[in-house]
Amino acid sequence: MGGGADGGERGVGVPGGDGGSERDLGGVFASRVAGRFGGGEAADAEGLGGKLLGFGTWAALSGIVWQAWQIYSLWYLAKLGFAAASDAFAGARLIGQVVIILAAAMTGIVTTAAFAAWESRSREEANALLGLYTKLALSGLLALSLVLVLADDLIVLVLPSEFAAAAEVLAEVVVFFQLTSALGFLAVHFALVEKTRLMLWSWLVGLGSNVALVIWLVRPEHPLSGAVLSAAISCLPAVAVCLVLVRAEGQPVSRGLVLLTAASLLLLLPDAAMVAGAAGLAVLGAATTVVFSREERIAIGNRIRQRVK
């Protein structure tokens, strides 16, 4: 293992509206590369500069694609002159962004812990820790998303009256942010194998899917629902590609992680079905090894006991 002795790399952020993911990932990559070139090795500052320049190029492209993807449906509505639909979409995004903001903070913590385990122990232990923390974080975010969707009418009361239609599409917007948060956690695997350029391909698939879907789904009679559904559905092929790339690099993807990611779609169901599905998922997580493995359940139990004491 290369890298700094303390394993204190900064975390990979979940892609946020300000490009924070790329900057945080840059900190991780820079620390790793600096460690590889340290200790009197033959490679010098020129080699380090080349590595960082290459990373910076991929990170910049990823940031541009992410910005285009997250705003494309809204931009498309504005382009076609659907002002009321655009306002409602913007209002729903304002509320739904709380999911990805919290995910960004969680991912930084998760990634720092994973890299510390990589430096001090092994990549296998780092992957195990990353898998556990990712599932815990996604569980918490899913619970938050559930509350947001169930309370949509109450939440929209704090917005101006022209944003009232946001309540009708909040679920789709929250699904978009929930799934892109999952993509941010999955991108940590690319940092662990030092192939951060791979994160770009998922963003490109998401953007391309969104472009195609808005053309198909946005119609004059229902522009708002078509736009938000396009954004939400575009995440599915992006997540699928990301999972394939993670596995192609030999990184583990557990069934629990896949299940929690897919569970984001519960938010699109009617309230009663959504609550029933979430309750069933909670039972699976608490009473079986479908979501959390036996080792993970033991680790969670030990951690809870430590906190209680």
Q: What are phi and psi of 158, to 5 degrees?
A: -80, -10
pLDDT at 80: 93
Work out the percent of the chain whose per-residue pLDDT is above 70: 82
| C-beta of residue 143 within 8 angstroms of C-beta of residue 102 | no
| C-beta of residue 174 within 8 angstroms of C-beta of residue 99 | yes
Q: Identify whether 5 is part of a domain.
A: no
Q: Identify whether 1 is part of a domain.
A: no
Secondary-structure breakdown of the chain: helix, strand, coil percentages, each rounded to the nearest 5: 80, 0, 20
Tell me the chain's radius of gyration from C-alpha atoms.
20
Q: Is the pLDDT at 33 greater than 60, yes or no?
A: no
- Would you state the torsion angle of the CA atoms of residues 238, 259, 103, 87, taken in this order, to the nearest 10 degrees? 60
Q: Identify whether 206 is part of a domain.
A: yes
Structure tokens at 251: 């990184």
Instruction: Tell me the residue range of the domain where 183 lies.
Output: 20-308
Q: Which pLDDT band holds residue 101 (cuts at 50, 70, 90)?
A: very high
Q: Is the pLDDT at 6 greater than 50, yes or no?
A: no
Q: How many CB atoms are closer than 10 A to CB 269?
A: 15
pLDDT tens per residue across span 181-227: 999 999 999 988 888 889 899 999 999 999 999 999 999 989 999 99
Q: How many CB atoms are closer than 10 A to CB 102?
A: 17
Kindly give the interhelix angle for 45-79 and 223-248, rounded to the nearest 10 degrees: 160
- Distance from first CA to last CA of the chain, Å, rounded? 35
| C-beta of residue 234 within 8 angstroms of C-beta of residue 215 | no
- Which residues does 57 contact at the CB level (< 8 Å), separation at least 6? none
| DSSP output for 145-195 | HHHHHHTHHHHHTTS-GGGTTHHHHHHHHHHHHHHHHHHHHHHHHHHHTT-
Q: Which pLDDT band holds residue 38 (cuts at 50, 70, 90)?
A: very low
How many domains are contained in the chain? Answer: 1
- Which residues does 75 contact at the CB level (< 8 Å), separation at least 6? none
Residue positions counted in the chain: 309
User: Which residue matches tokens 């575009």?
Assistant: 234
Q: Identify whether 243 is part of a domain.
A: yes
pTM, entire model: 0.83
Q: Identify whether 122 is part of a domain.
A: yes
Q: Identify whether 13 is part of a domain.
A: no
pLDDT tens per residue across span 40-51: 444 455 665 666
| C-beta of residue 249 within 8 angstroms of C-beta of residue 261 | no
